[in-house]
Structure 1
């Protein structure tokens, strides 16, 4: 998290550009951490509350959509610590440093791997709609095993940060990962699990889904295609810049002397973290069933109930009379 702080704390560059960047970095990054924390906390907490108290886990999609906000929620919970450190310095001790680095990294991996699982799940629901519908119990058992495996793999992936993370005392105390010998392996793992694997899954699975939807009759395919396009676009726009900067950084050390390069790292890092704010909207609030339960939550806390009163009856009637084509509609893209 604090590679920039460590670099500039040991740098002898006293140029005006360097000074301007230090001021920018000191205020911009912590402020954005707070914004992402608040938005991510509210959005993911709402999703988690609804899935725990209002929405029974009836499908593999529901299982994944409950694990995703949990991972994002734990991820954003570390941001206030980094925000305080950006304004001041790390004052929470060495054990807390390892803990925060571990939680931050583990839930980053978990979030990205769950996104990959959701993508594959949507592919199975569309490509093998009848089999997926008839074997929901079997898929749920597999889903629980997959979610457990994702958390274990993410924990293993975060071990370097936990083991080698420490507080260094330079111009100020900095919590970070300082083991250069295995940094290439760590970077390769982060880019593989956190970017290339989800991207490959989206390209392959959504390409097949789009092809299938084009041949389905009597289906609101345009809405599903828009959601697919939105999901892929948000992922590319938020994750590609930061991963590209990290890749450039790892291949050419000359960029470490360029102040403009550190502007790019700072800004793209914040953009990448915005995924924790967008995930609840993209993967939960687009579903009719989730929105219905969200209205129930609003009603329970005293807000006026919004939405047509006959929505439930209509949805139940549609479910009872659905054909294979309508099964595709019910399961294709987050129960639209």
Structure 2
């Protein structure tokens, strides 16, 4: 979105090299963008709204991970609400004015940094809870206080990092009106910042922390520890699968501006960026639905709104409660438990 809008005017140059390829690309974009953005919008809106409802009305914030999980869907919810605007602009042109352009560019970047920083905090929190279990349990109250303060800092830092998009965002007319920051120097600074703070540092942190966590759990006994490993691998795998393709394409494009007149490059940018946006849909699944406590509260919500018969919902709750009890007895306090992920 931010990167693609900056380079969108380069599509004009594609027509010079291959008018037929440019025409096919425009047809693909007009079909692919609304479908992909609509899917992410609907799934992200429903999933993140459901997470917020359950955390607000059913699930008490008993751990530091819960505090972080409360902020993650909130940031994603704000982001997915901007997708209909970008879908319309991708099909037609930007008709929402300069101020709206600056706000939506800022929201995207704000969500980008907020989500990545929160995921890093969840990783570090799990690292402390597993590797330094006793100390983490004894300082649970202090960790909760620090966690809330860290969340506030994340929102402030993300807002500051979004200022370039808000300040330099503008609308320009090429063959149509587009929204972006059409300045090579600004684009380079933004790209370098996003690559460093939004991908490589979070990735390095997750690799180091989860490597130590895996090593710690492998030395522990019990089948449930190995089940926790599956959750860890899932978290890392989804992070890599959604973010790496778009990151690599942007890095390749930054090495030479010749790529921006290639039709294949614009196909790659469009598809990999849409894949990267899927994190707004997958986060509720990865960081909430895998938790037994969350599933129990979900079935309680379903029963309360009358979507399932009372007996059916009750049996689901009892099944979840029984599974939760078995899970609790097989773990050593909060220390080695990854169920909160």
Establish whether TM, by shorter chain, passes 0.5: yes
How do 1:107-118 residues align onto structure 2 when only pairs under 5 Å count? 107-118=111-122
Question: How big is the shift at 1:225?
Answer: 1.0
d(CA) in 2 for partners of 1:62 and 1:18?
Answer: 48
Task: Give the corresponding residue for 1:281.
Answer: 285
Tell me, in whole angstroms, the C-alpha distance in 2 between the residues paired with 1:50 and 1:218. Answer: 31
Match in the other structure for 2:10: 7
Shift, 1:119, TM fit? 0.7
C-alpha distance after superposition, 1:5-44 (max 9, x if no partner): 3222466525211111111112212221111111111111
1:172 correspondence with 2:138: no
> Does the CA-based 8 Å contact 1:90-1:174 persist in structure 2?
yes
* Gap change, CA 1:168 and 1:328, over 3 Å in 2: same
When normalised by structure 2's length, the TM-score is 0.92
Deviation at 1:255, TM superposition (A): 1.1
Residues 1-336 of structure 1 correspond to what in structure 2 (within 5 A)?
Answer: 1=1, 2-9=5-12, 12-13=15-16, 14-304=18-308, 305=313, 306-309=315-318, 311-312=320-321, 315=324, 326-328=332-334, 332-335=337-340
What is the rounded CA distance, in whole Å, between the counterparts of 1:294 and 1:48 in structure 2? 11
Larger mean Cα displacement after TM superposition, 116-125 or 188-197: 188-197
**Could you tell me how far apart the structure 1 residues matched to 2:317 and 2:160 are?**
47
Helix, strand or coil for the counterpart of 2:59?
coil
Determine which structure has the larger helix proportion and give its number: 2
In structure 2, distance between residues paired with 1:120 and 1:158: 24
Change (3 A) 1:25 1:210: same
- Structure 1 residue 3, shift from structure 2 partner: 3.1
Greater displacement, 175-184 / 96-105? 175-184
**1:86 to partner: Cα distance:** 1.2
Calculate the TM-score normalised by the size of structure 1. Answer: 0.93
| SS of residue paired to 1:138 | helix
Aligned residues: 332
Cα distance in 2 for partners of 1:334, 1:179 equals 46
Q: For each residue in 1:188-240, what CA deviation from the matched residue of structure 2 results, as whole angstroms up to 9, or x when unmatched?
A: 11111221122111100110010011111135122111111111111111100
Aligned partners of 1:328 and 1:11: how far apart in 2? Answer: 56
3-state secondary structure, aligned to 2:318: coil
Partner Cα distance (2:317, 2:61) in 1 = 24
Gaps of 5+ in 2: none
In terms of mean alpha carbon deviation, does 64-73 or 172-181 score higher? 172-181
Kept in 2: contact 1:27–1:86 (CA 8 A): no
Q: 2:13 touches 2:261 (CA, 8 Å); kept in 1? A: no
147-156 or 4-13, larger mean C-alpha shift: 4-13
Q: 1:310 and 1:270, CA in 2 relative to 1: closer, same or farther beyond 3 A?
A: closer
The 8 Å contact of residues 210 and 225 in structure 1, kept in 2 or not, is answered as yes
Comparing 19-28 with 206-215, greater Cα deviation is found at: 19-28
